């Protein structure tokens, strides 16, 4: 059994080390590094013991990552909190009024004023907060449709929505602009998110509204922001404004359960309805913060708390989640996989990266996505969720067991077949083996 010598860790880490955190180190003879989970080099608690004596050879002393990226994480969480508030307002408006503010893009997917407004707002906040460093952002939306002469009403709505949100910024600890942003400034903020990523340097990755279909249906959606440095996701922030009090509600359509179910609807101020999850790579922790702004009365109950993946290893007790739309992931293939590994529960079909949140929080054990051949997964659909699950103790790879590659532009280049995220290594290995066994006979 390999031995992890406590003395080779920095003093700060020595004192804060817990069993769960140790799963976040990788080990080879003389060096312990924070996990990037290359293949299966991750070692789990059961695979080594902790010794208090001197290390065998001259070890590398680990530095704490506590300080690094703290300023970025702080701003990112606040920006996502603001974005969640913006989205809640727009979603209520969409459901109660009209659909005129929902547009179809060239690929027939949807975009709404919330998508553009969140992108503009977060872009503005990041640029203002890190003015000294040039801020590079990869994001989903562009200004093409918004800049057309016939899009004046749409653009006006976006400008208004952005300004309403920025006016509330101080409640989230962010400075408002000195005057409302003009149309051209809003367009510029959206346009500025034109980075194409890559293997070196630092860039933010933003999906302003992930699961736009869920959003317009009054259901689940997420705001996802990540920071990538030298090809690695170092921060992930995931806002899930509609995440319900009880996990069973995740699979219900919001309006459906509001109208038809006898279940008590989630209270707007309750801890579990809506939150922001976040994690810093290598910290061994993922955190959940309820939605702000904080009501003064609830300040104490609104401090962040850690989340952990589920400890369930028995497939029969595991829940797997997947996209709602068959067009986005093969339900029949995942049903076959689930059956062959012994998963017996019905799949939890949920829009957006809320699926990553469900695994990170321990509400589900597995997330699988197998898009049709030819579809290339985008980095903004996975970056934030990946680091959050990993830091909460889980595993995220492609179907070949390789880590997702965020270093090659806007797509997850080289992705082998699909994405598999699991609470634990054992479940993950079982699914990877099942994919290999059934892939050739699948029609994917």
Ligand X SMILES: Nc1ncnc2c1ncn2[C@@H]1O[C@H](COP(=O)(O)OS(=O)(=O)O)[C@@H](OP(=O)(O)O)[C@H]1O
Residues in touch with ligand X (CB under 6 A): 109, 140, 207, 210-213, 323-325, 327-328, 351-352, 371, 375, 378, 381
Measured in degrees and rounded to the nearest 5, phi and psi for residue 319 equal -110, 135
Q: Rounded to the nearest whole angstrom, what is the least distance from the CB of residue 212 to Mg ion in the complex? A: 5
Q: Which two tokens stand for residue 423?
A: 């609470």
Helix or strand or coil: residue 306?
Answer: strand
Q: Which helix (H) or strand (E) holds 321?
A: strand 320-322
CB atoms within 10 A of CB 217: 19
* Site stretch for Mg ion (CB under 5 A), options 61-69, 143-151, 212-220, 288-296: 212-220
Catalytic residue among 115, 219, 363, 398: 115
- Least Å from the CB of residue 102 to ligand X: 12
Q: Which residue has the tokens 């179910």?
A: 261
State how far the alpha carbon of 282 is from the alpha carbons of 25, 64, 81, in Å.
8, 9, 23
Closer residue to ligand X, CB minimum distance, 125 or 223: 223
Please identify which residue in the block is written with the tokens 């034109």.
194
How far apart are CB 138 and Mg ion at their closest, in Å?
12
Q: Where are the alpha helices (DSSP H) in 47-148?
A: 70-96, 113-129, 144-147
- Annotated ligand binding at 210? The verdict is yes
Residue 269 catalytic?
Answer: no
Q: Is 381 in the site for Mg ion (CB under 5 A)?
A: yes
Q: Which two tokens stand for residue 257?
A: 């359960």
Nearer to Mg ion, 225 or 343 (CB): 225
- Residue 229 labeled ligand binder: no
Q: Is 212 a catalytic residue?
A: yes
Among candidate residues 23, 112, 161, 212, the one labeled active-site is 212
By a kind-dependent CB cut-off of 5 to 8 A, residue 228 interacts, out of Mg ion, ligand X, none, with: none
Instruction: Report in angstroms how near the CB of residue 249 gets to ligand X at its nearest.
Output: 16
Long-range contacts made by residues 126-135, C-beta under 8 angstroms, separation at least 24? 126/75, 126/76, 126/79, 126/204, 127/189, 127/192, 128/175, 128/177, 129/75, 129/174, 130/72, 130/75, 133/202, 135/192, 135/204
Answer yes or no: are the C-beta atoms of 390 and 37 closer than 8 Å: yes
- Out of 140, 219, 322, 363, point to the residue binding Mg ion (CB under 5 A): 140
Q: Residue 136 corresponds to which tokens in the numbers above? A: 């590079």
Binding string to Mg ion for residues 31 to 70, with x set by CB under 5 A, is what? ----------------------------------------
- H helix and E strand count, the chain: 13, 18
How many Å is the Cα radius of gyration of the chain?
A: 22
207 binds Mg ion (CB under 5 A): yes
Q: Is 381 annotated as a binding residue?
A: yes
Residue with tokens 């990788």: 26
Structure tokens at 104: 């179809």
**Residue placing its CB nearer to ligand X in the complex, 228 or 379:** 379
- Closest separation between CB of residue 115 and ligand X, Å? 8
213's contact among Mg ion, ligand X, none, with CB below 5 to 8 A by partner kind, is ligand X
- Nearby residues of 264 by Cβ (< 8 Å), 6 or more positions away: none
Q: Is 74 annotated as a binding residue?
A: no
Q: What is the DSSP string of 18-40?
A: -HHHHTTEEEETTEEEE----TT
Give me the least distance between CB of 371 and ligand X, in Å please: 4
Binding at 327: pick from Mg ion, ligand X, none (beta carbon under 5-8 Å per type): ligand X
Q: Is 377 in the site for Mg ion (CB under 5 A)?
A: no
Two tokens at 265?
């609807």
Neighbour tally for 307: CB within 10 Å: 23
Q: Of 362, 374, 335, whose CA–CA distance to 421 is shortest?
A: 362
Binding mask 105-124 for Mg ion (x = CB under 5 A): ----x---------------
Residue 316 or residue 327: which is nearer to ligand X going by CB?
327
Q: Which is nearer to ligand X, 35 or 161 (CB)?
A: 161
User: Which residue, 158 or 213, is less far from ligand X as judged by CB?
Assistant: 213
Which parts are annotated binding residues? 140, 207, 210, 381
Residues noted as catalytic: 115, 212
Binding site for Mg ion (CB under 5 A): 109, 140, 207, 209-210, 212, 381
Binding site per annotation, positions for Mg(2+): 140, 207, 210, 381
């Amino acid at each position: 059994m390999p031995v992890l010598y406590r003395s080779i860790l920095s003093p700060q880490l020595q004192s804060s080390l817990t069993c769960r955190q140790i799963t976040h180190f990788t080990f080879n003879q003389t060096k312990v590094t924070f996990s990037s989970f290359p293949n299966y080099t991750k070692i789990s608690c059961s695979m080594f013991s902790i010794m208090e004596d001197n290390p065998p050879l001259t070890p590398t002393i680990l530095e704490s990552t506590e300080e690094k990226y703290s300023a970025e994480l702080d701003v990112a969480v606040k920006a996502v909190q603001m974005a969640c508030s913006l989205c809640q307002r727009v979603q209520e408006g969409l459901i109660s009024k009209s659909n005129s503010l929902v547009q179809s893009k060239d690929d027939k997917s949807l975009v709404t004023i919330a998508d553009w407004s969140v992108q503009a707002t977060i872009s503005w906040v990041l640029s203002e907060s890190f003015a000294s460093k040039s801020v590079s952002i990869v994001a989903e939306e562009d200004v093409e449709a918004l800049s057309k002469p016939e899009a004046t009403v749409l653009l006006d709505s976006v400008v208004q929505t952005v300004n309403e949100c920025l006016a509330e910024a101080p409640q989230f600890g962010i400075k408002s602009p000195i005057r409302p942003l003009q149309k051209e400034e809003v367009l510029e903020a959206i346009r500025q998110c034109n980075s194409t990523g890559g293997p070196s340097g630092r860039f933010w990755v933003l999906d302003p509204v992930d699961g736009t279909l869920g959003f317009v249906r009054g259901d689940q959606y997420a705001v996802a922001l990540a920071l990538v440095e030298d090809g690695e996701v170092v921060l992930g922030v995931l806002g899930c404004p509609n995440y319900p009090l009880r996990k069973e509600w995740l699979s219900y359509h919001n309006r459906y359960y509001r109208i038809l179910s006898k279940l008590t609807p989630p209270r707007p101020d309750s801890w579990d309805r809506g939150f922001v999850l976040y994690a810093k790579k290598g910290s061994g922790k993922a955190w959940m913060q309820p939605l702000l702004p904080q009501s003064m009365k609830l300040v104490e109950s609104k401090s962040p708390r850690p989340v952990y993946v589920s400890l369930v290893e028995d497939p029969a007790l595991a829940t797997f989640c997947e996209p709602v739309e068959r067009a986005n992931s093969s339900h029949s293939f995942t049903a076959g996989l689930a059956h062959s590994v012994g998963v017996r529960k019905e799949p939890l079909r949920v829009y957006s990266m809320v699926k990553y949140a469900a695994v990170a929080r321990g509400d589900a054990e597995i997330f699988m996505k197998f898009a049709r051949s030819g579809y290339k997964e985008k980095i903004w659909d996975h970056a934030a969720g990946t680091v959050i699950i990993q830091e909460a103790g889980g595993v995220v790879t492609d179907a070949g067991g390789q880590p997702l590659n965020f270093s090659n532009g806007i797509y997850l280049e080289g992705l082998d077949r699909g994405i598999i995220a699991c609470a634990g290594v054992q479940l993950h290995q079982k699914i990877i083996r099942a994919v290999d066994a059934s892939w050739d006979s699948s029609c994917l």
